[in-house]
Amino acid sequence: MGYRPLPGRPDMPHAVIPPIPTIPPQKFDEEKPKMANTNPQIIPETPLIFMCKGITLIIDNCLYKVDEEAQTAQDFLQITPTKFPLIELEKITKLEELYFKDQQQEINAWKKLYQQQHERPFNTKLNEDEGEVQLLEFVVEKVFPYFAEGGKKLKLTTQPENAGKAKIATTDEIAETKRASNPLLNKLLKKGGAKTESVAKIEDYQQSMPNEQSGASNSSIFSEAVKKYNVAIIEDGVFILKEHIPLISNTEKNLEISINLKGKNYYLTPCMDFLSLKQIYEGMLQKNLQREAELEHPRIRAVDAKKTSLEQEVQREIYKNAGLSLIRERYYSYYICLDVPEYVNIGDDDELYRFPENKVAVRIEFGRGRITVSSPVIVHSYSAYNQVKNGKIVGKESQKIPYKHPFLDGLSDFNTICTNNYNVSDSLTAEQKIVKHLNIAKNTMMSGYFGDLRPHNRLRKPSFSDMIISKSEVKELNLQITNKKRKGEE
């Protein structure tokens, strides 16, 4: 069956629909001798990429193609005025399971070769992971108990309450990065045609892989590659699919390109070219196989299990209730955080100023067998006020505001708190220094104004005008005024 053109416009070149690809039966059903893969950089080929050639939709973990045999259908791709019927071929998770099953022999050979050629990096990783385990053990055994149980050491749990449900945040996740918009990539949307909205490009590579074993999860590796968006692949372009968000105005309705599937309407937003998506997906598959190869190393597997147990331990409810959390920077450095609740301060001008929630933190680093502790910081540069109903917190306001404070210089994540170069005693242990730093930082933010410390900025109008709150609002929202103006203070 040959290619046939799609209907076009005078200003739009004809596109073509390729025939629906079929998987050759011998690919999965016949046992044929396979050439050994001697290049650990090249993983066995996946059928999913092959099936994505031409017009392909991946929606809710299912792969759809144009059905050239059907005359009418409830599910269709529409390039006005023509409708192209769609047919569901397979679930993405099933295709990936088939890939891992069919290619098991070649994948095992690839892993073995990878292990042989990466013995030295494995040793380096072991050293890094063992150091990170020591750092986490220090936090669990010596730091968190100070806040949760007044210094008493808590018995470690064997099955934490939230095991497998949460993960430690990273500094990359805290930082709010601006993504550049991607130019139009599809030949169907030429200048003068449909108007697109600006969208964020999917990141070229993902550092963290799914925690589940490959082929055994409801969440596919492909869905992680596209950030769990529904996508359409048309020719050499990849589009994000969004529900009920038209690309064009009503006056241009005759140019509409849309998808109707199971009663839902989707509209296309350009994202990237197909080659980029192919590289991302294959890169994630390779990363997944590398991770499996590493975990098949007995020492790495043991250390990884210990690390996972500690990561779950620090997320116990008793620590969350004490306002404690961790943010991972690198394998050898973490931020230990203490929650700062929403509060109100009296200013120089006797106005009341409302501050949203945040976290204070100290950075700890493990190296050469010792823990070093840095000065305290405020974690978030932006925060949001609580939504309060009948004196109870029911959520967060949608709009985030800059976190300004008299003891902060500028606006940035992990911004150093002004404590007038206060240094804790060198005679204290590392855990005692951490506890003291965190308590001083929290007290400085909440109650330090009118204390002995000199702030960067005075708490008064106009610098903090947008944070003023009335006494009646303070009472209504059940907020606490946490500083006091000293007699004679002006």
Mind listing the pLDDT tens digit for each residue in 290-337? 889 888 888 888 999 999 999 999 999 999 999 999 999 999 999 999
3-state secondary structure labels for all residues of the chain: CCCEECCCECCECCCEECCCCCCCHHHHCCCCCCCCCCCCCCCCCCHHHHHCCCCEEEECCEEEEECCCCCCCCCEEEECCEEEEEEEEEEHHHHHHHHHHHCHHHHHHHHHHHHHHCHHHHHHHHHHHHHHHHHHHHHHHHHHHHHHCCCCCCCCCCCCCCCCCCCCEEHHHHCCCCCCECCCCCCCCCCCCCCCCCCECCCCCCCCCCCCCCCCCCCCHHHHHCCCCCEEEECCEEEEEEECCCCCCHHHHHHCEEEEECCEEEEEEEEEEHHHHHHHHHHHHHHHHHHHHHHCCHHHHHHHHHHHHHHHHCCCHHHHHCCEEEEEEECCEEEEEEEECCEEEECCCCCEEEECCEEEEEEEEEECCEEEECCCEECCCEECCEEEECCEEEEECCCCEECCCCCECCCCCCEEECCCCCCCCCCCCHHHHHHHHHHHHHHHHHHCCCCCCCCCCCCCCCCCHHHEECHHHHHHCCCCECCCCCCCCC
Nearest to 67 by CA among 78, 80, 76: 76
Contact 344, 405 (CB under 8 A): no
**CB burial readout 290-315, b (16+ within 10 A) else e:** bbbbbeebeebeebbebbebbbbbbb
pLDDT in tens, 389-440: 877 778 888 889 999 999 999 899 999 998 876 677 778 899 999 999 999 9
Residue that has been written with the tokens 């990273």 in this structure? 170
Local confidence band at 47 (pLDDT 50, 70, 90 cut-offs): confident
Distance CA 20, CA 55 (A): 9
Quick one: tokens of 196? Answer: 């697109």
What integer pLDDT is reported at residue 489 of this predicted model? Answer: 56
Q: Is the per-residue pLDDT at 111 higher than 80?
A: yes
Report the pLDDT averaged over residues 179-207: 31
What integer pLDDT is reported at residue 149 of this predicted model? Answer: 67
Report the pLDDT averaged over residues 107-111: 90
Report the pLDDT averaged over residues 228-232: 90
What integer pLDDT is reported at residue 41 of this predicted model? Answer: 60
pLDDT in tens, 432-466: 999 999 999 999 999 988 877 889 899 999 999 99
Beta strand 324-330 with 169-170 is: parallel
3-state secondary structure labels for all residues of 87-110: EEEEEHHHHHHHHHHHCHHHHHHH
Nearest to 197 by CA among 239, 250, 227: 239
Task: Tell me the percentage of the chain whose pLDDT exceeds 90.
Answer: 36
Contact 180, 202 (CB under 8 A): no
Quick one: tokens of 193? Answer: 């045609």
Q: What is the mean pLDDT of the chain?
A: 76
- Where exactly are the structural domains of the chain? 7-115+176-294, 117-170+296-303, 332-476
Range in 72-81, 125-134, 249-258, 468-477 the model is least confident about = 249-258
Q: Is the per-residue pLDDT at 18 higher than 90?
A: no
Q: Is the per-residue pLDDT at 159 higher than 70?
A: no
Task: Tell me which long-range contacts 477-482 makes (C-beta under 8 A, separation of at least 24).
Answer: 477/386, 477/388, 477/391, 478/388, 478/391, 478/392, 479/342, 479/343, 479/344, 479/354, 480/343, 480/344, 481/343, 481/344, 481/345, 481/346, 481/352, 482/343, 482/344, 482/345, 482/446, 482/447
First to last CA, the chain: 87
What integer pLDDT is reported at residue 71 of this predicted model? Answer: 67
What integer pLDDT is reported at residue 351 of this predicted model? Answer: 95
Local confidence band at 281 (pLDDT 50, 70, 90 cut-offs): very high
Any residues with CB less than 8 A from the CB of 211 and at least 6 apart, and which? Answer: 164
Triad 379, 381, 382: Cα angle to 5°: 115
Q: Side chain identity at 272, as an amino acid letter? A: M
What integer pLDDT is reported at residue 48 of this predicted model? Answer: 86
Residue that has been written with the tokens 């306002």 in this structure? 323
What integer pLDDT is reported at residue 486 of this predicted model? Answer: 65
Higher pLDDT: 122 or 339? It is 339
Q: Is the per-residue pLDDT at 243 higher than 90?
A: no
Q: Is the per-residue pLDDT at 363 higher than 90?
A: yes
Report the pLDDT averaged over residues 69-86: 79
Range in 37-46, 100-109, 278-287 the model is least confident about = 37-46
- pTM, to two decimals: 0.63
Q: Is the per-residue pLDDT at 180 higher than 80?
A: no
Q: How far is CA 254 from CA 5, 241, 250, 257, 329, in A?
A: 19, 20, 9, 9, 52
Distance CA 87, CA 66 (A): 6
Report the pLDDT averaged over residues 144-168: 54
